[in-house]
């Protein structure tokens, strides 16, 4: 029995990623076409136009969140299966499924593992990276700091409430920013809300 060839939509705001994935996927005999998109609107348009079998979606595409983009893609092309991936943060199987995705994989995986994940999702399977077992991988303290940042507290106020030094709070905040790919407090809160880490 011949395996069907897959049309793969790649949603990422970095051109070098598009180039690399097109080069990698274009050389595989089970890939019919690699379709690059750099925004949610473009991804939805291409999903309608090309009806891709699989959409590989970065967890953060500019200011947009991957889960939101997955929703747009699945609305435009209900049979498209989605695989979220990221190097900046990690997502649980539960959160990925809630977004309508059929898998999540980190960018730390090599090209062969990423290609295998795309192929498996295209065959109707689910793929959840074992390096991302339970939600965005924030420590308890990072989560506590995030919740208080979202509540508008300063580092000094957070330090007093959690009985920590301001420097320790700053370290936890920096770790949390890095993991969710945020540059500042406002962006951290916005991204955390989009990912369902805070309400």
What's residue 110's pLDDT? 84
- Given pLDDT bands bounded at 50, 70 and 90, which one contains residue 131? very low
pLDDT tens string 95-105 = 777 778 898 88
- Write down all domains in the chain, each with its CATH number in brackets: 6-128 (3.40.50.2300), 140-194 (1.10.10.10)
| CA–CA distance, 151 with 129 (Å, rounded to integer) | 32
Q: Is the pLDDT of residue 133 over 60?
A: no
The closest alpha carbon to 191, from 70, 42, 75, 88, belongs to 88
Q: Is the pLDDT of residue 89 over 70?
A: no
Cα angle for residues 78, 79, 81 (degrees, 5° grid): 105
Ordered DSSP codes for the chain = -PPPPEEEEEE-S-HHHHHHHHHHHHT-TTEEEEEEE-SHHHHHHHHHHH--SEEEEESEETTEEHHHHHHHHHHH-TT-EEEEEESS----HHHHHHTT-SEEEETTS-HHHHHHHHHHHHTT--EE-TT--SSS---HHHHHHHHHHHTT--HHHHHHHHT--HHHHHHHHHHHHHHHT-SSHHHHHHHHHHTTS--
- Given pLDDT bands bounded at 50, 70 and 90, which one contains residue 47? very high
Cβ count within 10 A of residue 133: 11
- CB-based contact 183:177 (threshold 8 Å): yes
pTM for the model: 0.68
| CA–CA distance, 60 with 191 (Å, rounded to integer) | 8
| CA–CA distance, 111 with 186 (Å, rounded to integer) | 34
Q: Is the pLDDT of residue 194 over 80?
A: no
What's residue 152's pLDDT? 92
pLDDT tens string 57-73 = 998 888 888 888 999 99
For 47-67, b where at least 16 C-beta lie within 10 A, e where not — what string? beebebbbbbbbbbbeebbbb
Q: Is the pLDDT of residue 92 over 80?
A: no
What's residue 134's pLDDT? 41
- pLDDT above 90: percentage of residues in the chain: 45
pLDDT tens string 27-43 = 899 999 999 999 999 99
Instruction: Report the pLDDT averaged over residues 8-27.
Output: 90
- CB-based contact 56:11 (threshold 8 Å): yes
């Amino acid at each position: 029995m011949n395996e069907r060839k897959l049309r793969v939509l790649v949603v990422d705001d970095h051109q070098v990623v598009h180039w690399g994935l097109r080069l990698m996927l274009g050389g595989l005999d089970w890939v019919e076409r690699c379709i690059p998109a750099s925004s949610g609107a473009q991804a939805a348009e291409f999903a309608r136009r090309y009806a891709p079998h699989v959409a590989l979606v970065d967890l953060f595409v500019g200011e947009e969140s991957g889960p939101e983009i997955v929703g747009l893609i699945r609305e435009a092309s209900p049979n498209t299966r989605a695989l979220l991936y990221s190097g900046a943060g990690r997502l649980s199987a539960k959160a990925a499924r809630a977004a309508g995705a059929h898998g999540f994989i980190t960018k730390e995986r090599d090209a062969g593992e990423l290609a295998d994940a795309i192929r498996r999702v295209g065959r109707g399977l689910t793929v959840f990276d074992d390096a991302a077992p339970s939600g965005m991988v924030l420590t308890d303290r990072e989560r506590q700091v995030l919740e208080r940042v979202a509540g508008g507290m300063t580092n000094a106020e957070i330090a007093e409430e959690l009985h920590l030094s301001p420097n320790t709070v700053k370290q936890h905040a920096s770790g949390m920013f890095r993991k969710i790919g945020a540059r500042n407090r406002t962006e951290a809160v916005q991204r955390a809300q989009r990912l369902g880490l805070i309400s």
